[in-house]
Amino acid sequence: MEENILNKKNCLITGATGGIGKEIAIALAKNSCNLFLTGRNNKELLKIKKDLEKKFDIEVDFQSGDITRKNEFEKIIKKTRSSFKNIDILINSAGIFVERSIEKTTIDDFQQCFKINAIIPFLFCKEFSRDMKKNHWGRIVNIGSSSSYQGFQNGSAYCSSKHAVLGLSRALFNEFKKKNVRVFCVSPGSSKTKMGKKCKNQNFETFINPKEIAEYIVNLIKFDEEMVVEESRLNRIKIE
């Protein structure tokens, strides 16, 4: 039987109550990862924790809060450190979608987009890459977007932040690779999530199933040979 290298690894997932984040949590639980989950909805996080612990022989803990607030971000770090000795896998899945013309996009809109989509992933990478480098094994997955590679009308704030995620991932890939810490930027097209429903003038039924995205990510981080995929663009098979 093939060895499961993810068995009992400790994984932190941000945005765990979102469509993609939740599916990644389920997929990693199936691979016997211990999980620390973050999100804004305390009730939903508790439900996910109970469901996963009931189905799988793993440890699950969580901390809810607004990660853009310094005191709440620090609470998440502190709680994570008290729950698990170290973090082996970091999934930066939390995100915000803003679709407005530049005239209607405020400075606050732009800053909030960057805080959640780019600055918070940077801070989590900064904190938990220390564990990974020390142990000479780690995985960081930053969830980008098709908008990491292109722009769309009324997407100045969102596209800028997702381009930043891609740049961050490319830089960290080269910074950490000698320590056997692999950094991936996975950039899905429109997906069947609550965020996906905000996309205008597109057929939601053609969007990517988040379960497929989660399965892809798990297979990506399980691969442990000489080859590595730095970044992945996940597109829909049918676009109308």
- Whether residue 240 has pLDDT greater than 60: no
Q: What is the pLDDT of residue 3?
A: 77
Percent of the chain's residues with pLDDT above 90 = 84
Are 81 and 10 in contact by the 8 Å Cβ rule? The answer is no
Of 126, 134, 106, 130, residue with least CA distance to 168: 126
What fold characterizes domain 10-234? Rossmann fold (3.40.50)
What does the pLDDT read at residue 51? 97
Q: Helix or strand or coil: residue 120? A: helix
| Closest C-alpha to 217, from 229, 200, 227 | 229
Domain boundaries, the chain: 10-234
Quote the pTM value. 0.93
The count of C-alpha atoms lying within 13 angstroms of the C-alpha of 125, restricted to the half-sphere facing its C-beta, is 27
* Residue indicated by tokens 């379960």: 211
Q: What is the pLDDT of residue 239?
A: 63
Euclidean distance between CA atoms 24 and 69, whole angstroms: 25
Which pLDDT belongs to residue 207?
80
Of 203 and 16, more confident:
16
- Predicted confidence (pLDDT) per residue in 181-199, tens digit: 999 999 998 767 666 666 6
Beta-bridge mates of residue 189: none
For residue 25, the SS3 value is: helix
Answer whether residue 141 shows pLDDT above 60. yes
Supply the pLDDT for residue 18.
87
Cβ proximity of 153 and 102 under 8 Å: no
**Inter-residue contact 154 to 101 (CB < 8 Å):** yes
Residue pLDDT, tens place only, 90-127: 999 999 999 999 999 999 999 999 999 999 999 999 99
The per-residue DSSP string of 28-91 comes to HHHTT-EEEEEES-HHHHHHHHHHHHHHSSS-EEEEES-TTSHHHHHHHHHHHHHH-S--SEEE
